[in-house]
Chains A and B, each alone.
Chain A
Amino acid sequence: MVSLTRQKDERVVGLENKVYRELMYIVYALLLASLIYNYVQFGAQEAFLSIEVALLLLLSLYSGIRYQMMGLYTDKAEEYLVKKKKKYSTFYFVAGGLLGLGFSFSFAFNSAINYAETTAQSITYFATVFFVCAIIYIVPLALLTGFMPWISERKAKKRLQEDEGES
């Protein structure tokens, strides 16, 4: 039964949602730009203990929780499986790994430039810090970002199999 009492125009709602989405990307971009500026201007410690990092983490956490509550991860995983024949989680594992790689490079460069006195020392510091940071950041970040999509992918495969079983 169609009920349209006190309902907003769907087209207007859709357009408003488009604006809100653009607004969200702008906020993320501004926070990231501010974080990079703080890093360049005041150094790593000031940058990473800033409110921008807290906001980025909070927004990402909220987004992840809402995605999970609405079942969006599973829906997107199913869409990927059906349309693109690709694994939904692969992108997120790789993205997390690349993020970890970025962090590792960043800390390694920082150590090499700010704390080394000779070229040989720079290379040593770079290699050591990069190696340690890679262990600390790459795998955990890859697992962190890819875990939810991987779980959703398994649920989506199960849903598709059940659907095929019914027909």
Chain B
Amino acid sequence: MNHNRVKQARQEANLSQQKLAAQVQVTRQTISLIEVGKYNPTINLCIAICKALNKRLDDLFWPEKE
């Protein structure tokens, strides 16, 4: 399971899960699962979320330490 700051970044951008989901064309549930670390998005989706939230990839996503 990878770590992410999607929730914090989304809240800073004043977006609901539904609005972010609509922007990156996934369901609200997918955004929710990404935020709690229960779903690992593909690189395309990671990039799309970063663009929607105006952040860099390593600002939002990083692997868990081994």
Q: Is A11 an interface residue (CB 8 A)?
A: yes
Given A2-B44, A2-B47, A11 contacting B33 (CB threshold 8 A): yes
B47 close to A12 (CB less than 8 A): no
B47 close to A11 (CB less than 8 A): no
A2 close to B33 (CB less than 8 A): no
Q: Mark B12-31, 1 if CB is under 8 A from A, else 0.
A: 00000000000011110110
B41 close to A10 (CB less than 8 A): yes
Q: Is B45 an interface residue (CB 8 A)?
A: yes
Interface centre among B26, B30, B33, B47 (most CB of A within 10 A): B26
Q: Which of the four size classes fits the interface of chain B? A: 10 to 19
B33 close to A4 (CB less than 8 A): no
Find residues 1-55 in chain A having any chain B CB closer than 8 Å to their own CB. Answer: 2, 4-5, 7, 9-12
B27 close to A12 (CB less than 8 A): yes
Q: Mark B30-51, 1 if CB is under 8 A from A, else 0.
A: 1001000001011011011001
User: What is the bound-complex CA distance between A7 and B41, given in angstroms?
Assistant: 14
Q: Which of the four size classes fits the interface of chain A? A: under 10
A10 is contacted by which of B29, B42, B47, B51 (Cβ under 8 Å)? B42
User: What is the bound-complex CA distance between A12 and B51, given in angstroms?
Assistant: 22
A9 close to B25 (CB less than 8 A): yes
User: What is the bound-complex CA distance between A149 and B25, given in angstroms?
Assistant: 39
User: What is the bound-complex CA distance between A11 and B24, given in angstroms?
Assistant: 13
User: What is the bound-complex CA distance between A10 and B27, given in angstroms?
Assistant: 9
A11 close to B26 (CB less than 8 A): yes
B4 to chain A, nearest CB (A): 15
Q: 5 tightest A-B contacts by CB?
A: A9-B26, A11-B30, A4-B25, A9-B27, A2-B47
